[in-house]
Amino acid sequence: MNDLLEERDIGRKRRSDIINIILSAIIVLLVLIIVVLVFFLTPMSVSGQSMHPSYESGDRILVSKVGYSVNRGDVVVFKIPGNDSPPIKRVIGLPGDVVYFDIETMDYTVNGEKIDDFATSTGYNSNYFSSSNHDVYIALTTTGITVGENQLFVLGDNRNISNDSHIYGCIERDWLVGKVILHY
């Protein structure tokens, strides 16, 4: 009888140990997920139609906040000082690039070459430059804008409605929240 009670106690202890191990593993996993989400990745929601049709308002994205490189064509999220809603835009110009808008052909060029365009429209409406900073407009359409050492030139894919570098010029690299690595 004592042997039977002893075996039952051992069985209970084993089950208790297994439950403790499982609970500990779940807690460690939750802490790791929280650390990754706080320091390395950020899930976000797209707001607005400036990246249509690549990204629609309400689409979910995962943004890498560390350890990424930025290349032409990448999609980034950044904060503009004084704006609470971080925009999502495509990188068109990198440091040292000269970005030019040809009014006659309605094309953007980077370093003299027409860009592989992600734009949704083949033309721009007559109001395309209406809200642009005058200096940005003049530079873009005459000599081009040279992207500074710690800057990027960004445009929305839905160019006619996008508030982007054609309006406010280059963005500072330290404004970046991160690079979009997943769209779901």
Alpha-carbon dihedral sign for residues 42, 47, 50, 56? positive
Distance CA 154, CA 136 (A): 13
**Cβ neighbours of 144 (radius 10 Å):** 20
Strands 75-78 vs 88-93: parallel, antiparallel or unpaired: antiparallel
- Between 2.10.109.10, 2.40.128.280, 1.10.287.3510, 3.30.530.20, what CATH number should domain 43-183 receive? 2.10.109.10
| Residue spans of the chain under pLDDT 70 | 1-11, 121-123
Q: Tell me the pLDDT tens digit for each residue of 9-25.
A: 666 778 888 999 999 99
The pLDDT value given to residue 93? 97
Q: Name the residue ranges covered by the structural domains of the chain.
A: 1-39, 43-183
Q: Tell me the pLDDT tens digit for each residue of 158-168.
A: 988 899 999 99
Range 23-34 burial, b when 16+ CB lie within 10 A, else e:
eeeeeeeeeeee
Q: What is the pTM of this model?
A: 0.82
Which sequence positions are flagged as catalytic?
A: 50, 89
